[in-house]
Amino acid sequence: MVYDAFVLLSFGGPEKPDDVMPFLRNVVRGRGVPEERLAAVAEHYMHFGGVSPINQQCRDLLAAVQADFSANGLDLPTYWGNRNWHPMLEDTVAQMRDDGVTHALGFATSAYGGYSSCHQYWEDIDRARAKVGPGAPQISKLRQFWDHPGFVGPHVDAVRQAWEKLDRRAGTRLVFTAHSIPVSMAQSAGPTGGRYTAQLEETARLVAAQAAPDLSYDLVWQSRSGPPQVPWLEPDINDHLAALAEKGVTDVVVSPIGFVSDHLEVLWDLDNEALETAKKLGLGYARAATPNVDPRFVTMVRHLVEERTAGRAQERLGTLPVWDNCPGGCCPAPLRRGSK
Ligand SMILES: CC1=C(CCC(=O)O)c2cc3nc(cc4[nH]c(cc5[nH]c(cc1n2)c(C)c5CCC(=O)O)c(CCC(=O)O)c4C)C(CCC(=O)O)=C3C
Ligand SMILES: [Fe+2]
């Protein structure tokens, strides 16, 4: 297989106040997210001037990947397209067609399996290609990377650095977080189900073992969305902090292993809400960084490409199975409500 381009696939985010509501409506198309929730999330974005950090993080990652490709003789033009906000993937795919690209490798900014984190990126590709029509390049998504040393390593160092900021008290606990998803979505994640949670459990175990083998740790959830009557993964980090304080925990290191960069959910839901909760409970609190443009993470992107182009061996720390192309029927889309 000959690949002639690389494309970064991401979520997208608003870059000015007027972008916020149209962006949110794109995210929740037909998902039954209540208006109150949308208004609350719009407010989170407005706290940052209507600017999500995610697009700039994508620009930075793409620039670093491009530089790393060049430095290592990998001659692939790079592109970037989003699911929910400009640059929209369909516009990128049109540009790629105009540039003569025939088959690109796509890297999605999520390490895990499941509908939102993996399958929906395949849908984004299909939708963008259908819109562009004849001549649209093929795009093959690179594999999930939850246990790759280039992803685990930066999280390990970040946990160590965050822990350094706390008084080394005996009552310190390591708390990993990831984006909550509907329980039904978690059950149907991966070819045999449960894969999102299982992968996160594996990442948590790998990071904890290298960063802080003496600390007890938990995996909990953040940023719940959706209508209240639909069950999502629990406990929420805020409830969990209260339960820990009750048990005599004195300090927490919070590591958002569910994210590759400091998205708005990290900045708002952790650095604001969870920090506030910890303060009220009298808990010491330190949030660990995400990989962002850590050189090991950037190199990982090239190594994933080279697995496909140059027969590079997979680098893996875990034991769960991994695959390049998701089997059909994997991670079904949730039922849409009132979608057009
Ligand atoms: C698993 C997962 C990831 C991690 C994997 C990945 O990275 O893909 C993720 C990432 C992100 N989620 C993001 C933002 C939002 N997610 C929402 C809503 C939802 N997320 C869901 C799941 C996930 N989301 C789900 C099941 C929903 C319900 C609606 C639906 O089924 O789609 C909403 C709607 C409002 C609300 O929060 O209620 C917003 C604004 C941003 C951008 C942040 C920024 O601007 O920096 C990012 C990176
Ligand atoms: Fe989300």
List pLDDT tens digits, range 83-101.
Answer: 999 999 999 999 999 999 9
For 199-255, the DSSP string reads HHHHHHHHHHHHH-TTS-EEEEEE---S-TTS-B-S-BHHHHHHHHHHTT--EEEEE
For 13-59, the DSSP string reads --BSGGGHHHHHHHHHTTS---HHHHHHHHHHHHTTTTB-SHHHHHH
Predicted pLDDT at 120: 96
Predicted pLDDT at 328: 83
265 lines ligand 1 (CB under 6 A): yes
Amino acid 84 reads N
Predicted pLDDT at 337: 55
Q: Which atom of ligand 1 is nearest to the CA of 334?
A: 31
Q: Which atom of ligand 1 is nearest to the CA of 264?
A: 46
179 is in an annotated binding site: yes
186 lines ligand 1 (CB under 6 A): no
| Cβ neighbour number for residue 259 with a 10 Å cutoff | 24
Dist CA 339 CA 33 (whole Å): 12
- Pick the residue whose CA is nearest to atom 26 on ligand 1: 181
pLDDT surpasses 50 at 275: yes
pLDDT surpasses 90 at 73: yes
Predicted pLDDT at 336: 66
Between the alpha carbon of residue 281 and those of residues 177, 226, 237, the distances in Å are 19, 27, 13
41 lines ligand 1 (CB under 6 A): yes
203 lines ligand 1 (CB under 6 A): no
pLDDT tens per residue, range 10-58: 999 999 999 999 999 999 988 888 888 899 999 999 999 999 999 999 9
pLDDT tier at 329, thresholds 50, 70, 90:
confident
What ipTM score was computed for the predicted complex, to two decimals? Answer: 0.92
Spacing of C-alpha 136 from chain mean position: 27
265 is in an annotated binding site: yes
116 lines ligand 1 (CB under 6 A): yes
53 lines ligand 1 (CB under 6 A): yes
* Domains by residue range for the chain, with CATH: 5-145+294-309 (3.40.50.1400), 149-287 (3.40.50.1400)
Q: Which atom of ligand 1 is nearest to the CA of 182?
A: 26
225 lines ligand 1 (CB under 6 A): yes
**Quick one: which ligand is closest to 44's CA?**
1
14 lines ligand 1 (CB under 6 A): no
pLDDT tier at 340, thresholds 50, 70, 90:
very low
Predicted pLDDT at 33: 86
pTM: 0.96
Going by C-beta distance under 8 Å and a sequence separation of 6 or more, which residues neighbour residue 229? none
pLDDT surpasses 90 at 228: no
Q: Which atom of ligand 1 is nearest to the CA of 121?
A: 8
Q: Which atom of ligand 1 is nearest to the CA of 114?
A: 1
Element (H, E) at 150: helix 149-164
pLDDT tier at 338, thresholds 50, 70, 90:
very low
Residue 40 CA to ligand 1 center (angstroms) comes to: 14
